[in-house]
Structure formats: structure tokens, C-alpha cells
Homo-oligomer: A and B are copies of this chain.
Amino acid sequence: MSAGNAVIGQSGGPTAVINQSLVGVVEALQASIAAGEGKVNKILGAHHAVAGMVKDDYIDLTTRTQDFLDRIADTPSSALGSSRDKPDAAYCKRIFESFAKQDVHYFFYAGGNDSSDTCRIIAEMAAEQGYDLTAYHVPKTIDNDLMVNDHTPGFGSAAKFVAQAFMGDNLDNAALPGIKINIVMGRHAGFLTAASMLGRREGKNDGPHLIYVPEADFSEEKFLADVERVYTQHGRCLIAVSEGIHDSDGNPMMTKLQDEVEKDAHGNVQLSGTGALGDLLAGLIKTKLGEKLGQKLRVRADTFGYLQRSFVGCASAVDQAEARQCGREAVKHALAGEHKSGSIAMIRKPGDAYEIEYKRIEIKEVAALTQHLDPKYILDGCDIAESFRDYAGPIVGDLPVVESF
């Protein structure tokens, strides 16, 4: 294969470390150019992902300095801009036209399961049309729901935010006792909601006292019974609820609320960017338990929202380093030329010490599929087992220390 240009794009919801992956790709490509390998000429960033590719809207990254790239890497959100467009055949054709015009033969796409599917479609179309393209997916999602992977870049930092948020809100709830509900992101996977337990201290009766993930069916009756039990026992109750909870028929609790359910191009229900679910659950408790638990019952709900993926200054150092390495690994495999496409997966090595192995897999192994929280972590449908710490603790890293009487 003769030398060509490379395109990198960032797709789907931003995270605190997706720019680490961007920079991992760019610096590995720069290293290849500097070494005179003759594989890549120019490094192009697609402005707003596929939406930029179809408009020939690229940012030249070939000679960006390491200093500048390091600052980009440390910045949350997608520096190139993102997109939620899902390319169909006509859309992909326009992408190829742009790639041909720009002499692009390497394509790197950082994103979650929907985005990996986009990458897969483009790679397959390229093969069908005889266009010489090497396409690699770089994993990213705070939902942590990619198959094969032990976990995904972005999850650790979002989980750190959620853990620190619950640590503080637990102390707040202890100071002014009442019932407090916090809605956590994660769509159909409960990993991020489960991370709410990471700041709980032994013997301190810390919240969250109840945790509801989408992997367990949600029942209003059981929820109310759980809340009443905890409140009666402790005089307060802090609750973590995944935005994706659903009843036993699979109907999201959110659909019971919104007159007109808004869906995006991927057919996903809008779960974030509204406080509706939290307010529904708070209203339910007030209506059904208010009289029983006392007139002065304080019931409040917060929805953490976009802060979980974009807050500045709360990234996990482990997550940052891994996201960077995923970008570098994608370039390593792409330039090696053995496979025309692939995805990078993070596999945890067996043993007590935390260590990650980066492995090339087929894109179809992750595309459009959802990994779920292992049922072994879910206790009675309303709590997360202590053993979840062994899984998520090393990814999140050290949490601040708090003290109480």
C-alpha cells in the first residue's frame, strides 16, 4: 500500500478522556511520519465526526506540537467536535468520495457501540467498493457497555465523578436527613450507577443505601417498600437510580412520563438532559409514603446529567493513561497492515495486581452490542455488592478521604 492520509474522528457522547485517545492516535501517527516509515502523509481530524467527513471539513493535525496535544488530551469533551448521525448507504458514499478526494487510507474512529457500528459499516463498504481503507475503532463510553472489554475509556472518570458526588451527597443527607434520589447515566448498563457505592466507608452507615440498575427489573411497589424500610431504620435514605430502569415488560420508567418520547437518529430514547425521572420518583414517594413517614418528610431528587461526562478537573489518572494507550494501539495495528479493520479491547490480566492487556479484536465483536453488569454484583434488586470494588476500584483510582464524627 502506498502512503496516504489518515483521518481521525470522535463520535457520540463526549467523555473526560476521549481527547486522550485522539492524542494517542495523533502522536503515534506523528511518530511514524518522523521515523520516515512512508505510510502516512497527513493527519486530518474530522470536524464533528462523520458530519464533517461528508463536507470535507478537516482540521490538519500533522504538525501540532506535543505541548499543545498534551493540553488537548487533558481537556474533557471531544475537541474535534462530535456527531450522532448514523450513516446510511448514501451517507457512506459521500464519506468515500471525501476520503478519495483527500487521499485518505487510514481511518480511526473513537466511540461507543453505535459508533463502532458506524466504523464497521464504513469498513465493509470500503471493502465492497474496492477502496483501500484501513479502519480502526477506538473504544470509548462512560456507559462501560462494550462487549469483550473489561471496561472502556471514559468509564473510570465518570465513575470517579459519580463516586465523589455520592460521597458528598451522603454527608449532606446525613446533615439534613431525608430521602434523596440521584439519577445516574448509563442507558441500559448499570456500571456507572453501581459506582455510586465506591465512596461508602465501612461501619459508617454511608449511602447510597439503595441502588437500582437496569439489569434488574424495577417495580414501584418494591421500590416503595425498600425506601420505607431504609428510612424507618436509618432516619434517612440516599438512593442511586440509573436513568435506564424499566419494568418487567422492559418499558423504561421514563416512557411513563413523557407525553411524546423524543428519540435520536439511533432510535434511542432521550434519557438525559431532563429531571423528569427523578421528579417522578420523588413525587411517588411523597404521595405514597408521605403520610406514613411523617409530614416533615424531605424528599429531593437530583439528576447528575452531563456533568458526569464533561466536568473539568475530576478525571481518573488510570482512565486517562488507558484512553491514550488505546489510541496508540489502534495506530500500531493499523500501520502493521495485517488486518484492514479492527477494534482495540482492554482485557484485564488474571491475578491480584491490576494490569491491562490491549488486544486487537474484530469490530463486529463490539458493534451495536451491549455489555451488562454481571448479576453477581446485584443484591436483591436494590443494592450493589462490596465485591464491585475489586472490579471498579482500580479503574477509578484513589478517592478523596472524608471524615465524620
> C-beta contact mask, A284-323 vs B, less than 8 Å → 1, else 0?
0000000000000001111111110111111000000000
Q: Which of chain A's residues 316-347 have a Cβ closer than 8 Å to chain B? A: none
Query: Are the CB atoms of B310 and A172 closer together than 8 Å?
Result: yes
Q: Closest chain B residue to A47 by CB distance?
A: B405
Which of A71, A74, A168, A401 is most buried by chain B, counting CB atoms within 10 A of its CB? Answer: A168
Query: Are the CB atoms of A79 and B302 closer together than 8 Å?
Result: no
**From residue A295, how far is it (CB to closest CB) to chain B in Å?**
11
Within the complex, which residue of B165, B175, B313, B402 is in contact with A307, where a contact is CB–CB below 8 Å?
Answer: B165
Assess whether A164 is interfacial by the CB under 8 Å rule.
Answer: yes
Residues in B whose Cβ lies below 8 Å from that of A274: 275, 278-279, 282, 300-301
Residues in B whose Cβ lies below 8 Å from that of A79: 171, 175, 403-405
Known: A45-B405, A275-B279, A402-B312. A81 touches B174 (CB 8 A): yes
Assess whether A80 is interfacial by the CB under 8 Å rule.
Answer: yes
Measured between alpha carbons, how far is A312 from B81 in the docked complex, in Å? 30
Within the complex, which residue of B68, B176, B310 is in contact with A84, where a contact is CB–CB below 8 Å?
Answer: B176
What is the oligomeric copy number?
2
Measured between alpha carbons, how far is A232 from B173 in the docked complex, in Å? 43
> C-beta contact mask, A113-147 vs B, less than 8 Å → 1, else 0?
00000000000000000000000000000000000
> C-beta contact mask, A1-21 vs B, less than 8 Å → 1, else 0?
000000000100110000000
Query: Are the CB atoms of A77 and B171 closer together than 8 Å?
Result: yes
Query: Are the CB atoms of B300 and A275 closer together than 8 Å?
Result: no
Query: Are the CB atoms of A77 and B174 closer together than 8 Å?
Result: yes
Within the complex, which residue of B176, B276, B300, B303 is in contact with A82, where a contact is CB–CB below 8 Å?
Answer: B176
**From residue A239, how far is it (CB to closest CB) to chain B in Å?**
13
Residues in B whose Cβ lies below 8 Å from that of A196: none
Interface size on A, residues (CB 8 A): 62
Query: Are the CB atoms of A72 and B168 closer together than 8 Å?
Result: no
Measured between alpha carbons, how far is A168 from B312 in the docked complex, in Å? 5
Q: Which of chain A's residues 82-111 have a Cβ closer than 8 Å to chain B? A: 82-84
> C-beta contact mask, A167-192 vs B, less than 8 Å → 1, else 0?
11101101110001000000000000
Within the complex, which residue of B59, B309, B403 is in contact with A68, where a contact is CB–CB below 8 Å?
Answer: B403
Q: Give 12 new A-B contacts, CB below 8 A, not counting A45-B405, A168-B310, A303-B303.
A: A71-B403, A72-B404, A74-B401, A76-B402, A77-B175, A80-B175, A83-B176, A199-B312, A274-B275, A275-B275, A275-B302, A275-B303
Interface residues of A (CB under 8 A from B): 10, 13-14, 45, 48, 59, 68, 71-72, 74-84, 164-165, 167-169, 171-172, 174-176, 180, 199, 272-276, 278-279, 282, 299-307, 309-314, 399-405
Could you jot down 18 A-B contacts, CB within 8 Å?
A: A75-B402, A76-B402, A79-B171, A83-B176, A165-B311, A168-B310, A169-B306, A172-B310, A180-B273, A199-B312, A274-B279, A274-B301, A275-B303, A302-B305, A303-B305, A312-B400, A312-B402, A313-B399
User: Lowest 6 CB-CB distances: which A-B pairs, in order?
Assistant: A275-B275, A273-B300, A302-B305, A77-B171, A71-B403, A168-B310
